[in-house]
Amino acid sequence: MPRSRKLPRRISEEAKSVLGVIYKHFNESGSWIGSKTLRLKFGADTIDALSKKYEPALFKRRAIGPGDHYELSIWGLMNSDGTDHDQKLICSFLECLRDEYKQDPERQFMKSSEIRQKLALDQKDLDKLKNYVGILYFGYSDSFPTPEWVIQMPQGFEQYVERLSTRDYLLTLIENRYKADVISTGKFRLRETAIQLGFWALVVTQAWTLSVILIGHSRIPRFSIVTASAWLTLFALSNILQLLQIHNQFVQPQKFVEKLIWYGITITISLLAAWLV
């Protein structure tokens, strides 16, 4: 498999399991796995966490009402077990376009019926290829609404014909698709992230404002008030780091040592804050 500097290379075993289930469902049924089915199998929290880390590089959710489903990216396909046949299918498709380009560089389009005949594909492989071409060139598997589909000769094909191997050219297409997907999804996520960041900043501000008021006008021990505010501040900080996709262990530390550090930080901040206030 070619290596990419732009796409994730270290994939968790949990993510590989999800990729395997998505591919198995598609390979056996010819359709992508429903969102509810996948989320029920692995847990909604698990899928959401993996989506934040690996989407759209490895897989993508296609939320279109009753057809709401998860589908693999081509990079996700290449990192799934048992997909050698499918990878060869995509490479054969690109080589078919390359051969046609060599014969007629001015040719602009090629029909799926021609591709099927030249590659001697059965209906299952043709349907698979239709999905993969849609994902690779347009971002989604349902990009071709009719049984007979037409593909335009890709731009920059000269580089492939003159000096790139099929695998290297495929990697270039995958990286270009990834860039486009990040831009398109980023436009929708930016506003949501900004709202959430503003919310947690407001929580921290209100918590310390309330602390100052309580310290001056209540009989609650100063240490208790500051401790509660410090805990809330660290919790908010953890969520802010997660929104910024920075790994942290504040909210759910998994190891005993990490818990000791967590408690130590909290107590230290509380004592210092209480002393300063």
- Six token digits for residue 158: 């000269």
Give dist(CA 273, CA 277) in Å, integer.
Answer: 6
For 259, other C-beta atoms within 10 Å of its C-beta total 12
Reported as a pLDDT band with limits 50, 70 and 90, residue 128 is very high
Q: Who has greater pLDDT, 188 or 49?
A: 49
Percent residues over pLDDT 90 in the chain? 48
Find how far residue 11's CA is from the centre of its chain: 12
pLDDT, residue 197, reads 73
Helix residue ranges per DSSP H, 139-165: 157-162
Give dist(CA 215, CA 264) in Å, integer.
Answer: 24
Mean pLDDT of 202-229: 78
Reported as a pLDDT band with limits 50, 70 and 90, residue 35 is very high
* Model pTM score: 0.67
Residue 133 reports pLDDT greater than 70 = yes
Q: What is the DSSP string of 64-130?
A: -GGG-EEEE-HHHHHTSTT-HHHHHHHHHHHHHHHHHHHH-TT--EEEHHHHHHHHT--HHHHHHHH
Strands (E), the chain: 59-62, 69-72, 109-111, 150-152
Reported as a pLDDT band with limits 50, 70 and 90, residue 250 is very low
Percent residues over pLDDT 70 in the chain? 79
Q: φ, ψ for residue 72 (rounded to 5)?
A: -80, 150
Q: Who has greater pLDDT, 1 or 123?
A: 123
Helix (H, G, I), strand (E, B) or coil at 163: coil
Q: What is the dihedral of CA 242, 138, 44, 128, to 10 degrees?
A: -140
pLDDT, residue 194, reads 67
Reported as a pLDDT band with limits 50, 70 and 90, residue 206 is confident
